[in-house]
Structure formats: structure tokens, C-alpha cells
Chain A
Amino acid sequence: MMALRDTHVTLAHGGGGKAMRDLIASVFEPEGQEDQARLMDAALQEPGAKLAFTTDSFVVTPVEFPGGDIGKLAVCGTVNDLAVGGARPLWLSAAFIIEEGCEVALLRRIAKTMREEADRSGVRIVTGDTKVVGRGSADKVFVTTAGVGVIPPGRHLAADTIRPGDVALVNGVLGDHGAAILAARGDLALSTDLQSDCASLGHLMEAVLTAAPNARAARDATRGGLAAALNEMAQAAGVGVEIDEAALPLRPEVKGMCEILGLDPLYLANEGTLVLFVPPEEAEAALAAMRTRPEGRAAAIIGRASDQGPGRVTMRTAFGGRRIVDMLVGEQLPRIC
């Protein structure tokens, strides 16, 4: 294998020739990605087991941020997609759209964090692809991942199984990712010690489902934040959801950022936070199970489903008032007034 000498990606690295071979061999193959995978897992053999399959694309500015990078985001995002559906994540693919001029060192760092995160979450990145596009046609690098997992027999997590009285939990603090990215972009000139919450939740989900076998449904509160996840679940189940503002775990820095910019933390993106509904009698067990995991230390019961206002999410404010928590139309913008 030739060591790759270039410091920056050129269009030649996408040309299908030796340069491309070098890039892949030097950057991605050492991290375990190969051309085509042949796969077998005992879990697939169990009668009644189902295959879960998901895909997601990742674009983020900046590509590296406190608490992670686009590669970690891609692995966590895909693992979490599988995990909240009740699947044990097994294999991932990763495709990279690379902008001409992207630093090779950056790609190496990304490939390495992906490998590390995959190891942590017990999945293998088994296949990959790269393409190079001209300067300005991408923002350094875009990543698309697909993931395959197995849902064990008898497990059925779906939002339409949520019933009035079910309890809603989150595994951790809200809004860290959204706030950390806003600060990391630098154009608002705000500085914090905040880190993205970017984390894989596969192990946490397994622990929760062992402790609360009748859990109804889970969703990762990514884009659109907790508000979007709860609204989607309330609508799918045809139940009302009422949450308690005082119970929402929030870091002071996230509160501070939201106060400065006039943002609502319910709409900030998370990358390692899920919301879970369980029957009331399993709520304490689910909470305890979450808290055994590092990514569940700040777990909390935040509300419950009801037969009031089907499809609606309402919040009891910390101040004792009540308000509707709707989905946002577009992106939340900082405001001055």
C-alpha cells in the first residue's frame, strides 16, 4: 500500500484511478471499511426476528465541533435510528461526498472517530464509498450512512401503541448539541464550554427494554428537538401529551444561550437524547435502567400521555401556566425582539 502524500483532496482523488485507490486505502480501509461486505449474524436466524434498515445523510457546519465531528454524528445518528425502533444495530455503510481542497488530515480524523464510535456501540462499518466534487459544491465533507440491525422476536416498538396514562422519559439533558453547534459556528461570537451530546444509544435502549419490556415507543429528539419528537408521537398515537417544564433537564449554559438569542430549548437539536414512552408501572424501572448508563445519567420523567387533546403536546410551565408546544415551521432563528 502506498502512503498517501497529499495533504488536500484534489479532483484526482475522485477520478477512479490510483489516487482514489490511495485515498481509500490510506484513510478509510485502515478503519475497517471495505468495498463490499458479506454478512452473517446469529440473531438473523431466530424465528420471528426482523431486519431493520435505515439511512441518513449528515451535513453540519462546522464539521468538527466540541463533543464530536460529522463522522461521530453519522454513526450515532444511524445507530440511534435503529435503536429507537427496537433493533440491535449491527452493520453500517458510510459514503463520503468530499469537497475538493478538503484536508486529508480531517478525513483521517473523521474516519478514526467513526471507527471508535462504531466500536463503542458494537456495530461494524462494513462498506463505504467516496466521491469528490469541485470546490464550492460541498462544504468540506458530507456523510451518508445506512444501518442494518435486527429486531428480536416479539419486540414491537411503535408510536401508535402509546396509550393515555403512559409515561414519557428522556435519557439526558436537552439542547446541548444545538447550542454547542450555534456557539461553534462563531458568527454570533458566543463562547461556552458546552459540548454536543452526540452519543450512541444502542446499549441504553437494550438496558431499558430489558427493564421495561412493555415499552411502547422511542424516538431520538434530533432536528426540531424534543418538541418535534413529542408532536410526531402524539399524532401517531392519537393521544395528548402533557410535559412538565420543571422536570426538563437543561444545562445552565443552554438556558443562557436561549435567553440571549431568544430561542426555545424544546426546539434545539439533540444527538444523544431520546424520548421514550412506557406504561406507568414500568416507568421507574425504565428510569433506573437509563441511569445505569453514562448517557442516561440525567434521565428524567418529563410527562405523560392523556386522552385530552389528541395529537397535541401541552406543557405545564415552571411558572404554573400552560401552553401548547407546537412543531416549528422552519429553523429557529435568533431574535432580538
Chain B
Amino acid sequence: MCLGIPGRLVAVADEATLMMVADVSGVRRAVNVACVADGALPGLIGRWALIHVGFAMALIDEDEAERTLEALRSLGEAQEALAMMAEGDRALEGAA
């Protein structure tokens, strides 16, 4: 359930009804930012939000996104280390 996609808030459409323009890969749509607005709307320009049925439902936490990617990268490094160890084991077996 619940198709949501990251979009970048690029402009204020209507301050009174809390509408801003979101851009998803060059596709633009007016979205309601009531759920994420905390002060004047221009302050949100440039922020990434999770868009669902025409509403910005959450601001994307860039630090958390980076932390998740970092965790994925460290899995990759651990994997490489494991692969090298396995290679070493095979080399030893071959020598024996």
C-alpha cells in the first residue's frame, strides 16, 4: 500500500492553502505541505519530501539516508573481506 516517491520542493504555489510545487525527475505537481510546514513555506524550497497522493507527507532526513547508505557500504566492505579470506583459504588448500 501507499505509493510514495521522493520529490524536491522547488517553489511556493499558494501560501494560503499551503501548496508548493514538487519536482520528481522533471515532472512537476502542486502538493500540499501542511504535514511538513513548520514556518514560512519559502524555507522548504530545496528540501526533499516524500510525496503521496498530492501531499508532502514527510521531509526526507538526509543524515539518516546517508547513515543507511553507509551501513550498506560497510556490508559491501565486510563482504569483500570475507571473499578475500575465502580466496586465501582456497589458495592454501590448493597449495596443500
A183 an interface residue at 8 Å Cβ cutoff?
Answer: yes
Task: Say yes or no: B25 contacts A253, CB within 8 Å.
Answer: yes
**Contact stretch, chosen from A22-30, A31-39, A93-101, A255-263:** A255-263
Report the number of A-B residue pairs with Cβ-Cβ less than 8 Å: 43
Task: Say yes or no: B27 contacts A190, CB within 8 Å.
Answer: yes
Task: Say yes or no: B2 contacts A191, CB within 8 Å.
Answer: no
Smallest distance from the beta carbon of A188 to chain B beta carbons, Å? Answer: 8
Interface residues of A in 138-191 (CB under 8 A from B): 183, 188-191
Count, chain A residues at interface, CB 8 A? 19
Interface residues on B, range: 10 to 19
B residues in contact with A193, CB < 8 Å:
26
A residues in contact with B1, CB < 8 Å:
337
Contacts A183-B27, A190-B29 given; does A260 touch B2 at CB 8 Å: no
Interface of B is mostly: strand
Task: Say yes or no: B27 contacts A253, CB within 8 Å.
Answer: yes
| Complex Cα spacing A257 to B26, Å | 9
Task: Say yes or no: A192 contacts B27, CB within 8 Å.
Answer: yes
Give the interface centre of B3, B26, B27, B30 by most chain A CB atoms within 10 Å. Answer: B27
Smallest distance from the beta carbon of A253 to chain B beta carbons, Å? Answer: 4
Smallest distance from the beta carbon of B3 to chain A beta carbons, Å? Answer: 5
A residues in contact with B5, CB < 8 Å:
259-260
> Which chain A residue shows the least CB distance to B30?
A189
| Complex Cα spacing A190 to B2, Å | 19
Residues on A facing B (Cβ under 8 Å):
183, 188-194, 252-253, 255-257, 259-260, 262, 335-337
**10 additional A-B residue pairs with CB within 8 Å, beyond A193-B26, A256-B26, A259-B24:** A190-B28, A192-B26, A252-B26, A253-B26, A253-B27, A256-B27, A260-B27, A336-B2, A336-B52, A337-B1
Q: List 24 A-B contacts (CB under 8 A).
A: A183-B27, A188-B29, A189-B30, A190-B28, A191-B28, A192-B27, A193-B26, A252-B25, A252-B26, A253-B25, A255-B25, A256-B24, A256-B25, A256-B26, A256-B27, A257-B27, A259-B5, A259-B24, A260-B5, A260-B24, A260-B27, A336-B53, A337-B1, A337-B3
